[in-house]
């Protein structure tokens, strides 16, 4: 018997209740016992009904059997569109990718001494959860993000800024921050765009097509269906 299996289920449930859904789904892959515990947690039907409505039924949506684990499987498959913090569903066919939930680094709840793991300018994907635009905006204003090395605290011509950040034109209100001329402080503009697009990941998402992202969701749903 492995040491994981010697921990009583109630203890596991206490530990797991502090984790976000994507962290839970990683835990469910550890072994069969944890998979059973994680997939029967109340969080999955709660997340499902928060996203799709109290009246929603699992079966007509996905044609998968209505077992307890199906909620987890369905939520994992559709997680690219569901915010793990507010459980809100961001609609398919969104025209802008930054409107959708995107991975952003988080601290585990109640572990304030932990540091977010950054590798260079990029963060460790295992320390991320998917958050909608509104939750990302709140999260980065609380937590902040390190300033990338290629962002200067200098004045920059508006045309050069738009050249370096094609999303600058999209960030409504940024244009009026210019100091009466055609120049703007790059760091100030960058922080404005971070707030507007919901972090660095939102700024980067500007270049990605929503179609490609949705195709990925479809592939994931098919993959999860085969696991049942």
Q: Which of 7, 16, 27, 86 binds Zn ion (CB under 5 A)?
A: 86
Binding mask 133-152 toward Zn ion (x if CB under 5 A, else -) reads --x-----------------
Give the residue from 201, 215, 223, 219 showing the smallest Cα distance to 100: 201
Q: How far is CA 99 from CA 122, 129, 179, 199, in A?
A: 21, 15, 29, 12
Closer CB to Zn ion, 25 or 39, in the complex:
25
Asked if 47 is part of the footprint of Zn ion (rule: CB under 5 A), the reply reads: no
Structure tokens at 173: 């209100």
Q: Which of 83, 129, 161, 189 binds Zn ion (CB under 5 A)?
A: 83
Please identify, among the stretches 106-114, 131-139, 152-160, 210-218, the one whose residues bind Zn ion according to the rule CB under 5 A.
Answer: 131-139
Please identify, among the stretches 19-27, 74-82, 132-140, 151-159, the one whose residues bind Zn ion according to the rule CB under 5 A.
Answer: 132-140
Asked if 50 is part of the footprint of Zn ion (rule: CB under 5 A), the reply reads: no
Where along the sequence are the contacts to Zn ion (CB under 5 A)?
A: 83, 85-86, 88, 132, 135
């Amino acid at each position: 018997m492995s040491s994981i299996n010697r921990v009583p289920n109630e203890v596991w449930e206490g530990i797991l209740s502090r984790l976000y859904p994507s962290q839970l789904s990683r835990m469910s892959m550890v072994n069969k016992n944890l998979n059973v515990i994680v997939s029967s947690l109340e969080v999955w039907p709660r997340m499902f009904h928060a996203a799709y409505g109290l009246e929603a039924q699992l079966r007509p949506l996905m044609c998968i059997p209505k077992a307890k684990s199906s909620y987890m499987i369905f939520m994992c498959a559709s997680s690219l569109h569901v915010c793990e913090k507010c459980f809100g569903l961001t609609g398919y066919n969104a025209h802008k990718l930054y409107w959708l939930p995107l991975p952003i680094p988080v601290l585990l709840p109640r572990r304030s001494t932990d540091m977010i793991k950054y590798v260079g300018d990029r963060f460790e994907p295992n320390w991320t959860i998917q958050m909608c635009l509104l939750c990302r905006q709140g999260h980065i204003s609380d937590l902040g993000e390190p300033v990338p090395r290629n962002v200067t605290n200098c004045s920059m011509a508006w045309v050069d800024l738009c050249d370096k950040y094609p999303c600058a034109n999209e960030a409504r209100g940024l244009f009026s921050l210019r100091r009466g001329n055609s120049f703007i402080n790059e760091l100030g503009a960058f922080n404005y765009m971070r707030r507007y697009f919901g972090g660095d990941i939102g700024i980067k998402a500007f270049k990605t097509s929503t179609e490609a992202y949705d195709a990925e969701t479809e592939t994931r749903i098919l993959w999860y269906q085969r696991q049942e």
